[in-house]
Amino acid sequence: MPARITDSHCHLDFPDFEGDVAGLVTRAAEAGVHRMVTICTKLRAEPDIRAIAESHASVFYAAGTHPMSAATEPLVSVDQLTALSTHPKFVGIGETGLDYHYTADSKAIQQESLRIHIEAARQTGLPLIIHARDADDDMARILSEEHTAGVYTCVMHCFSSGLGLAEAALDLGFYLSMSGIAAFPKSQAVRDIFARAPVDRILVETDAPYLAPPPFRGKRNEPAYTAHTAKVGADVFGLSYEDFAAQTEANFERLFWKATTDQSATGTDG
């Protein structure tokens, strides 16, 4: 069997996977991906995502409001997020963050929403899951301001931002997550940033159904393909696949402390 790894970020509720969740969980296990975190991006979808996690032992979940939806969805409250966190398979806060690529006009509400999610992460002790795009300066500033106000933990999901934001996040003790983007041939700059990071601060993910790594680029991504990104990660850090997998497993369990293997009693697959 291949070394065990975790897909720390995917979206199993998206229409791309309708009717195929059981199949992709099986294929993931065959590839060594024994655990995954499916992410809710709009709180009205949380019941459906919770149901997926409850139905599959290897699936955990997180919930929040994606920054691109911050202006069109009701503003989430700290109380809402902390209430959700009592579920045994709820393991993270988000995804939240800042995205100025298409939605810069809503930056004020995005920042307000982000700070609410940070407070929920602070109160629950669960990791914050950050989406950052074309907002490096504001993101670094807010993360630092809020960390000074009270510590919390965080992963920069699907990291493909600049070196400055990477260094700011790492200086705060946060983690960087490597997606299929890091495996793209033209992503050497991203790989170089990861190579400068401590290996004990690295996670792997798919962001499925998006960003499939080679040789599946352009096709629907799924958790099994985490293994292809992890192989690139092993090369970046000069490790064997087995050693890199073991390191990212330790990293994941340190950060996502609720998603430990003893939770697998919740769900129908093993």
Tell me the pLDDT tens digit for each residue of 147-168: 999 999 999 999 999 999 999 9
Distance between alpha carbon 103 and the CA centroid of its chain, in Å? 21
Please check the confidence at residue 236 and state whether its pLDDT lies above 90. yes
Domain map (residue ranges) of the chain: 5-265
Longest Cα–Cα distance in the chain: 49
| CA dist., res. 137 & res. 32, Å (int) | 37
Specify whether the CB–CB gap between 11 and 41 falls below 8 A: yes
CATH number for the region 5-265 comes to 3.20.20.140
pLDDT of residue 1: 85
Q: Provide the pLDDT confidence category of residue 265 given band limits of 50, 70 and 90.
A: very low
Amino acid found at 78: V
Please check the confidence at residue 264 and state whether its pLDDT lies above 90. no
Q: Provide the pLDDT confidence category of residue 269 given band limits of 50, 70 and 90.
A: low
Query: What is the chain's Cα-based Rg?
Result: 17
Exposure string for 220-242, b = 16+ CB within 10 A, e = fewer: ebbbbbbbbbbbbbbebbeeebe
CB atoms within 10 A of CB 46: 20
Assess whether the previous peptide bond of 74 is cis (omega < 30° from 0). Answer: no
How do residues 45-97 score in pLDDT, each as one tens digit?
999 999 999 999 999 999 999 999 999 999 999 999 999 999 999 999 999 99
Among residues 258, 99, 247, the alpha carbon closest in space to that of 178 is found at 247
pTM, 2 dp = 0.96
